[in-house]
């Protein structure tokens, strides 16, 4: 005889199983809602970023969405390509409180150097110039014939050069900075010793500047690098044999 299942007994397990399944489905609903929320927030962020861009970036974005496959085909229809990545970077930098703080610090430091060293920013033939950058400040000291900081083609300071380095050392040591020293010269340097080239000359001059700064005031822990460039890096727009390429560059960056 074949046993038949009791309907009263078989209904309970089925009903219990269905109820368990329904409960498991409801348990994950919050994850779906959270995913939708974060997706919406990301979309809002993208819209706000796009609206903040200038016309050139907006044009570039519109061009991409009108012709999305050109990115894979390598097509170039714009005559004035723009680096969107750079634009994003600038937006991020300008809103960074640390960047703004460093910028203010660098500008104030530059004004202190201009004041105490008697620098005339408008004088194109000045022996001392200052250039501010995103990272810090570059102090250039030109070794000109009319006011040299070194004896001719040597690493020996003139009296004025020694006095200048003494004052610069005092100014630099007032701030918490990383200091990089570079020495450059013009092309055409020759010495009686064929093994003593522009590289050896600028190496000696860079080290002379380092020793002078440390001797007079500078904490040696602030020194990050001392580099000789020989005549390999003339200033932009100048002939390699221009006297203005004889220079010391001291880069100052907040630590």
- Would the pLDDT of 20 be above 70? no
Tokens 């660098």 locate to: 106
CA–CA dist 110, 139 (Å, integer): 9
Query: Once rounded to an integer, what is the mean pLDDT over residues 102-110?
Result: 88
The number of helix segments (H) and strand segments (E) in the chain equals 8, 5
Whole-angstrom CA distances from 79 to 67, 76, 126, 241 are 16, 8, 41, 38
- The reported pTM is 0.62
Query: Once rounded to an integer, what is the mean pLDDT over residues 127-145?
Result: 93
- Would the pLDDT of 122 be above 70? yes
Chain mean pLDDT for the chain: 78
- Would the pLDDT of 233 be above 80? yes
197-227 pLDDT per residue, tens: 999 999 999 999 999 999 999 999 999 999 9
Which of these, 141, 133, 138, lies nearest to 206 by C-alpha position? 141
Structure tokens at 223: 């020194």
- Would the pLDDT of 131 be above 80? yes
The pair phi, psi for residue 21, each rounded to 5°, is -65, -45
Q: How many CB atoms lie within 10 A of CB 150?
A: 22
- Would the pLDDT of 184 be above 60? yes
Which of these, 84, 83, 103, lies nearest to 93 by C-alpha position? 103
Percent above pLDDT 90 for the chain: 49
Look at 59 and 241; give whichever has higher pLDDT.
241
> For the chain, which domains are there?
9-94 (no CATH), 97-254 (3.30.1330.60)
Lowest mean pLDDT among 59-63, 128-132, 201-205: 59-63
Structure tokens at 228: 């000789």
CA–CA dist 86, 109 (Å, integer): 27
């Amino acid at each position: 005889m074949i046993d038949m299942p009791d309907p009263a007994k078989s209904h309970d397990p089925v009903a219990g199983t269905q109820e368990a399944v329904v409960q498991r489905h409801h348990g994950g609903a919050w994850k779906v809602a959270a995913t939708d929320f974060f997706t919406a927030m990301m979309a809002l962020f993208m819209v706000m970023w796009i609206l903040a861009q200038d016309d050139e970036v907006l044009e570039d974005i519109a061009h991409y969405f009108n012709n999305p496959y050109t990115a894979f085909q390598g097509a170039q229809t714009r005559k004035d390509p723009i680096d969107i990545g750079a634009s994003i970077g600038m937006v991020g930098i300008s809103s960074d409180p640390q960047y703004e703080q460093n910028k203010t610090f660098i500008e104030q430091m530059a004004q202190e150097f201009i004041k105490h060293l008697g620098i005339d920013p408008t004088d194109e033939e000045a022996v001392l110039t200052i250039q501010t950058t995103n990272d810090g400040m570059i102090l250039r000291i030109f070794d000109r014939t009319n006011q040299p900081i070194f004896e001719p083609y040597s690493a020996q300071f003139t009296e004025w050069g020694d006095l200048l380095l003494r004052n610069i050392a005092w100014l630099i040591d007032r701030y918490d900075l990383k200091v990089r020293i570079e020495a450059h010269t013009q092309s055409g340097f020759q010495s009686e010793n064929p093994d003593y080239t522009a590289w050896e000359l600028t190496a000696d001059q860079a080290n002379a500047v380092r020793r002078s700064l440390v001797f007079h005031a500078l904490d040696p822990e602030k020194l990050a690098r001392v580099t000789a460039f020989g005549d390999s890096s003339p200033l932009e727009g100048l002939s390699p044999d221009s006297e203005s390429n004889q220079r010391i560059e001291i880069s100052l960056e907040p630590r």
